[in-house]
Structures are given as structure tokens and as C-alpha cells.
A and B are shown apart, each in its own frame.
Chain A
């Protein structure tokens, strides 16, 4: 790659890179580590307001500059994940194209190698559907008598599907019941899905 993977955002991150280069190395390492842990999680802020204030004192930079720096580092992680970039290429990119200080570049690449798998995993499994299945509960009941019939032996499976609304994080409980035949039909459908999954994965 002759052009940097950060070329789309290079103007935005230029000032941040200057700040980064002037930072103390140990502090930079901790910062990058923290950001790497949180990259890719949906709807989570990386630093709270209090923590940002502490960083302001620690780094001697204004809050705006710190925020920009954090965003830039996160952006760099996300771009690296997007391209699934190899560490060596990333290092070259940072040093040659983005004017990163060598030691800082090494620290960044180190953190990337350590956390790449997790970050990609998180990005892979992030949902964009409005609802997703978060949990399943069930009971097996047996009906033994009812108003219209005095003696029955009727096994009934009751499922509770918990659907999570991705926007509001609210859980909706859907209760359904299945008698024996319905449960068999449901199971057969699940089996056919599984066989499709198997052919897909081979």
C-alpha cells in the first residue's frame, strides 16, 4: 500500500499526532491500552468526565485536545480493524506516512497486535437489527385437568423468549406455548437451519 490506511482522516488526526509525539511514553502506553479495551463496544464512552479531567491535569493539555486525541487513536484502531492490517505494515504506515514518533509507533502497534483479535470479534458481533434474542427460558408443564375435561395428560412446553431492543436496551418477554406436535415441528425447523449452517461453514 503506497497510501496510508488513514488517508481519509489524515487531516483530522494531524494535530493529534503532534500532541501524541510530545507525550510521555509510559502515559501514552496506558492511554492506548485503555482505548484498545473499549474500541468496538457499542454505546459505551471510553472515558468518563472525571477521568477526562484527570487526564487534563496529567497531560497538561486542554480537554478538547485530549478528546481529539482519544478520538484519533480510536479512529486508528477502527481503521486497522477494517483493513485487518499486519503489524509491520501498520508500523511503516505510522512512521512514514503519518509522521509518528518511532517509539510511539512501536507502542501503538504493540497494543494493536495484542488486542486485534478482540476488537475484530467485538465488531463482528455487533448487531444492527432492531431486536435480538438475548435469552431463552422454558418450563415443561403437564395439564392434568381443565374446565371442559376432567382427566387429561397433556404435556405443554412454555417458552419465554427474551428480546432485547438494541436502541433502548429494554427486554421484552414473549411467552409462547407448544404442545408435542408443535414442538416437534419447531425442532425440525431448527435442525434444517443447523444443516444449512453446517454446509455454509464447510
Chain B
């Protein structure tokens, strides 16, 4: 099992760092899955995470100049590592003007992801900073725990409002309540609501648009005949939503959510080179 990768282009490095920063805001510990073509950051819905789960996927070719991966076995050519993304975020934070960043899986005392940053210096040789990030290697028999989540059989799918606006609203609401209700309908309307003993606040968004999910597979036929105006709602932990919105450092190309009435909300944020899905379950 080997892994080595190198980033030389500063723009790619910046972009990669931003993605890691976003992941670090969403998960204290997560799984990094490496395949020949892609990297995945996975958080499965254990109770410790408050039931939230995440699936983030990026193509290595868009970021790395060199990428060599040999999985645990020929027919299972993948590597699953458990790590603290905040460590990776910190390692990359001071690499913003690096000449090169190399990442390598090593096992000196215990498995580590070694991030070696080559920095320019006034002296004859470059300055090298290495960060050894401890990782846990996930054995093959546990890989099934981290399968790709399926899109739930949702009641409403709607594009999100401008994330910055949504973030500002949610941040203010967070001061007033621990829970927030997201409701939306198939006419492009969404409301964010909080309600406490003292106050209730609702912010209305309209003309958001509903993404066209293909209907020929028959899965979404139940949505077809329904009243387009009726609202579907789900009540979730407001902190989880705020974390998701606060972690977005770049405006996604597409942002939408799928709501299953009173069960779960599934956020999909797409950028050119990375897709992020985040599932927040309803509070009991």
C-alpha cells in the first residue's frame, strides 16, 4: 500500500486547501478514501456526529501534478484512512507560497500522512517543513461502512438561495434557537423558521427554482401529482446547518437541497472540480 502525490501549482494548492478547510469545518474526524482517480472525504452517520454525514468527491487530476496510489490489493486498489482534517488544514495553511507540496503515506512509528512543504528562502537551499499527520488505516473488511450514500426519496428538491445570504440569516437565527425548520415547495419557495417561547422568526425566499430530476426512472413519480405549493418541512439542528454554510469559502456552481418530510435534508453543493453532499437528519 503506497501513496504519494505532489502539487506544484499554487492555484491548485490554494483550491485544495480551501476544500480541506471546508471539510475541517464539517467533521472533526473523517475518512479519506484514495482511488486511482479520485479522493473522497467521507463522514458516516454515527451518533457521535449528531447523525450528520458527508460525502465529498474530487478528481485528483485537477489538483495534483503527480499522484501514485497502490491500494491494499490489486483487486481492491483503494486506500481508506481515518484522519483529523483540521491537521491537514493546518499543514496546508502556511504553504500558501510554497514551491511544492508533497504528500506521502508513511509508517515510521505508526501510519502517518507526511505533508512536506518546500518553501522559498533567501538561502541556497529551500526551507522544508514537514507535518506528520497521524492516520488510521481502515481495514478492507470495514470499507462497507463507508459506501456512497444514495439520494433519498425526497419530497421536494429546490435550489438554495445565495449561500452568503443564507449563512447570514442562519447565523443570526442561531443566537435565538437551537433548531431550525427548513421548508420548501415545488414552486421555488423556501422558508427558514425558528420558534422559541419568546419569538418566532421566518425568512422567506422565493423564485429559487426546482432542479429537474429525471422522471423516467419512476422514483420521483410520487412528486409529480402533488400540489406544487404545499410546503414540505424538516426540523434540524441549526448548528449543523451553520457549520455547512460557514465552511463554504467559494460560491458553488450549483447548490441545492432535497428534503424528506420530517426525516432528513440532503444538501448538494457542486463546484467545478469538487462535489460535496451533506446529510442532516431531522431532530427527534
A and B associate in one complex: no
